[in-house]
């Protein structure tokens, strides 16, 4: 990932089409055959890298925190060169999931590897004998601002939705941007544009690939999104004045995600996602063994926010089924298993293992 980041930098700096073509080929290979649903990457601890196409085991996933951080670096550089929202989509996915899982909520414990399933033995370290991940995830969080916005000669792009204040120079005029939002728990964003004096430039607002329905308004007047879309961004050019307010509303329903059929580890399984957040089941929230549960395909998934859990977190709940124990307790039998209903509660993957070490699973058997 770090090598590819440098390749993208050089391709952009020297306008090297062959080097950029190599970057795009590598990007396609990663994102279509080798990337975990969480934005983690690298299934093998043996070589700290890749194996075969679609080899994405869950419990033994290596998915090193440093690799997800490196992917964010690479995606960011590809985004700045290509100005294409598909790179920002992966940057956001890795940031909220595959990288964020490497850091505990107290900021003092770290994952070196980030599996997508655990029987309860996986927990964060206070340090690691190979101490690359703690400072790597630390510097990512400390430098987060540079990934939220970028500027060009006559434009400002908003890549990530995070409550923030920023200042930029556009056309020789200082412009302040104030972003208010509860994203990723809610899909509503308010952006105040405060130039020192009226100035014309293009504001590029990313509309994530996960978003099926969105609405943009400027000072209460709707914008025809389809007419201004450009490579994943709503491209709004106008003369901006102090106090202009851009409102973005993105529908954010909970969705089921299915893996490519050649990902053998996930055949017959489903993952839950809402907006950019990938969810998991953790034993602390479910009083049944996770390997026994199933999620009916038609069961509605409800989203809600719990302010008193894990510092405030978006939760998903859905009515599932759990396989019951055999009455005779035998290892094998001729009678088919029976099930009973159970309420499944899912938390964001990046929040797992912040309580006692417990079992966890991102992929759920579909009933």
Rounded CA separation 216/238 (Å): 14
- Catalytic pick among 132, 197, 200, 306: 132
**Which residues, 6 or more positions from 295, have their beta carbon under 8 angstroms from its beta carbon?**
270, 318, 320, 321, 344, 364, 365, 366, 367
Distance, CA of 319 to chain centre: 25
Three-state secondary structure along 38-72?
A: CCCECCECCCCECCCCCCCCCCCCCCCHHHHHHHH
Q: How many CB atoms lie within 10 A of CB 58?
A: 21
Residues 176 and 167 sit within 8 Å (Cβ to Cβ): yes
- Catalytic pick among 13, 48, 197, 302: 48
Helix (H, G, I), strand (E, B) or coil at 314: strand
Rounded CA separation 282/46 (Å): 27
48 annotated active-site = yes
What are the strands, taking DSSP E only, across 93-195? 117-118, 149-152, 155-158, 164-170, 173-181, 188-195
Cβ burial 177-197 (10 Å sphere, 16+ → b, else e):
bebebebbbbbebebebbbee
194 annotated active-site = no
Instruction: Give catalytic residue positions.
Output: 48, 132
């Amino acid at each position: 990932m770090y090598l590819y980041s440098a390749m993208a930098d050089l391709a952009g700096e020297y306008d090297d089409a062959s080097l950029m073509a190599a970057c795009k080929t590598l990007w396609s290979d990663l994102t279509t055959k080798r990337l975990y649903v969480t934005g983690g990457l690298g299934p093998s601890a043996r070589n700290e890298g890749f194996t075969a196409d679609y080899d994405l085991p869950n419990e033994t996933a290596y998915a090193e925190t440093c690799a997800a951080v490196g992917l964010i670096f690479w995606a960011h550089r590809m985004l700045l060169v290509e100005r294409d929202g598909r790179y920002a989509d992966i940057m956001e996915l890795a940031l909220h999931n595959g990288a964020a899982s490497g850091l505990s909520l107290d900021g003092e414990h770290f994952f070196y590897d980030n599996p997508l399933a655990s029987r309860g033995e996986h927990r964060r370290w206070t340090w690691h004998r190979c101490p690359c991940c703690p400072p790597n995830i630390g510097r990512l969080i400390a430098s987060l601002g540079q990934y939220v916005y970028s500027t060009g000669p006559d434009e400002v792009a908003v890549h990530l939705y995070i409550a923030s204040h920023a200042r930029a120079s556009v056309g020789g005029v200082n412009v302040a941007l104030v972003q208010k939002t509860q994203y990723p728990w809610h899909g509503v964003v308010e952006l105040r544009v405060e130039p020192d004096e009226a100035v014309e430039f293009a504001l590029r607002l990313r509309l994530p690939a996960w978003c099926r329905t969105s609405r943009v308004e400027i000072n209460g007047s709707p914008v025809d999104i389809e007419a201004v879309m450009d490579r994943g961004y709503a491209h709004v050019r106008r003369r901006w004045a102090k106090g202009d307010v851009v409102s973005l509303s993105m529908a954010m329903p909970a969705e089921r995600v299915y893996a490519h059929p050649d990902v053998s580890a996930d055949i017959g399984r489903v993952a839950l996602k809402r907006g950019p957040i990938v969810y998991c089941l953790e034993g602390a929230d479910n009083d049944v063994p996770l390997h026994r549960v199933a999620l009916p395909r038609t069961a509605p998934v409800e989203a809600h926010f719990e302010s008193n859990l894990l510092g405030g977190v978006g939760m998903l709940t859905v009515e599932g089924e759990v396989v019951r124990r055999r009455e005779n307790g035998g290892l094998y039998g001729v009678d088919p298993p029976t099930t009973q209903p159970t309420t499944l509660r899912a938390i964001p993957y990046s929040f797992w293992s912040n309580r006692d070490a417990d079992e966890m699973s991102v992929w759920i058997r579909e009933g």
